[in-house]
Amino acid sequence: MADTTDRLPDFPRDFLWGVSTSAHQIEGAVDVRGPSVWDLFTAEPGNVRDGSTAVVACDHVARYREDVALMRELGVGAYRFSVSWPRVQSPGGLDFYDRLVDELCAQGIRPVPTLFHWDLPADLDWLERDTASRFADHTAVVADRLGDRVTKWITLNEPAEHTLLGHALGTHAPGKKLLFDALPVAHHQLLAHGLAARALRAAGVRDIGIANSHGPTWPASAEPADAEAAEFYDVILNRLFSDPLILGEYPEGLAEFMPGDVAADLEIISGDTLDWYGINYYQPTKVGAPGGADESATEFSGISLPPGLPFSVKEIEGYPVTDFGWPVVPEALTELLVGFRERYGDRLPPVVITENGCAYEGVDDQGRIAYLDGHLRALHRAMEAGVDVRGYFVWSLMDNFEWAEGYTKRFGLVHVDYDTLARTPKASYHWLRDALRAYRP
């Protein structure tokens, strides 16, 4: 049993508590929307661990009222969901989000839509600059329809993973294996953020964020070669996406690999595009120099990395691990946030933790309770150290289609029976519900 009997520390009364999901992972109802790159990717044998697809997923389109009722009982103040770009392109596609937003507002839950969470329409390509402009058009359409009720918006989710896994390594959709030739994908997504922010500003929005994944990078040793490899990894997985947004510049040496008029694009990327900065945190990464006997076994989030990279990812020992094999290191969240504050100073906007969660089997998920308890305490320590954090979203409300892992990993506070689609709140759901009730008058 998790030893979480002590009451959580006090968070500000206006702190935003929420849960997160994404469209492709839960919605189903693929027959009434266009295809995405993930539909094409999962249709190819061998791309998903259990051979599954998201054709039904959690059937959220049909069961959204039940799911909103679960959120209301949980006591969260916000729901972070994503808007399926292919669904919006289809006749009547925005009607579903109209109904969802209405239901959320009726239950006193703030809707926080993410405008892109990896399910790119199948006829588009992030290697093409025009996709950024198309995304701005998509943003304008959604904001026009939902903006009378939605005030808080997220442009993109995890462009780092979408670039690395989808375009550099090919283990996610669209399955490209470009390695460092995938860098234009990163630039075009960042440009898409900037153009989308302009569209939202034109619609009167004053509460815009992005959800970037970040984690501390730990050198495998004090040796210069390991430190150099860790610095390179940190630049590619962290600073490549935060520096342009916050500082208006790429880390040294990277701008030359980006397409187009980079200086002009950086003005769009960083110019009045963020009211707050979203961070998705799961784990730190230990990185060393390439080579050695274990090079062929180098992995990133369970994915084997190809040889020849200028770094290797090492196992972090001495910590418990989730069912995904990820180390549970709450103190690394404090380290990450304090490090961001030190790096960016007054230029760092207020922060929102837009994802934090873990994969564990079972309804009596004591491991998840311990994980959430530890990370919320670590978050509070960062706030005590001066980091301006405004909210926290658990990943995820419910078990769902976990991308290339299919249905083999469960991140939800709510268990989903994929045969019957029955929802069963887990022990962690009840723990969080009780914790949140303790904050409310």
Q: Residue 379 pLDDT > 60, yes or no?
A: yes
Considering 158, 161, 402, 405, which one is annotated as catalytic? 158
Are the CB atoms for 53 and 173 separated by under 8 Å?
no
Give the structural domain span for 59: 16-437
The beta strands (E) that lie in 144-302 are given as 153-157, 208-213, 217-219, 277-280, 285-288, 299-300
pLDDT per position as a tens digit, 101-134: 999 999 999 999 999 999 999 999 999 999 999 9
Give how far Cα 84 sits from Cα of 36, 96, 120, 121, Å: 9, 10, 8, 9
Domain assignment of residue 9, yes or no: no
pLDDT band at 1 (very low <50, low <70, confident <90, very high): very low
* Residue 36 main-chain phi, psi, to 5 deg: -110, 170
Which tokens go with 109?
């839950």
pLDDT per position as a tens digit, 176-187: 999 999 999 999
Domain assignment of residue 4, yes or no: no
pLDDT band at 6 (very low <50, low <70, confident <90, very high): confident
**Annotation marks residue 355 as catalytic:** yes
Q: Residue 296 pLDDT > 50, yes or no?
A: no
DSSP structure string for 112-165: EEEEESS--BTT--TTSTHHHHHHHHHHHHHHHHHTTT---EEEEE-HHHHHII
Number of folded domains that form the chain: 1
Parallel, antiparallel, or unpaired for β 110-116 and 153-157? parallel
Stronger pLDDT, 295 or 363, i.e. the higher one: 363
**Annotation marks residue 161 as catalytic:** no
- Where residue 301 sits, what CATH number does that domain have? 3.20.20.80
Domain assignment of residue 30, yes or no: yes
| pLDDT of the residue at 239 | 98
Domain assignment of residue 11, yes or no: no
Please name the residues in contact with 343: beta carbons below 8 A apart, sequence gap of 6 or more: none
Which tokens go with 335?
């380290």
Domain assignment of residue 293, yes or no: yes
Which tokens go with 220?
């495998």
Give how far Cα 341 sits from Cα of 35, 333, 379, Å: 41, 12, 13
Which tokens go with 12?
């500000």
Are the CB atoms for 212 and 278 separated by under 8 Å?
yes
Considering 103, 355, 402, 405, which one is annotated as catalytic? 355
Domain assignment of residue 194, yes or no: yes
DSSP structure string for 354-415: EE------SSS-HHHHHHHHHHHHHHHHHHHTT--EEEEEEE-SB----GGGTTS----SEE
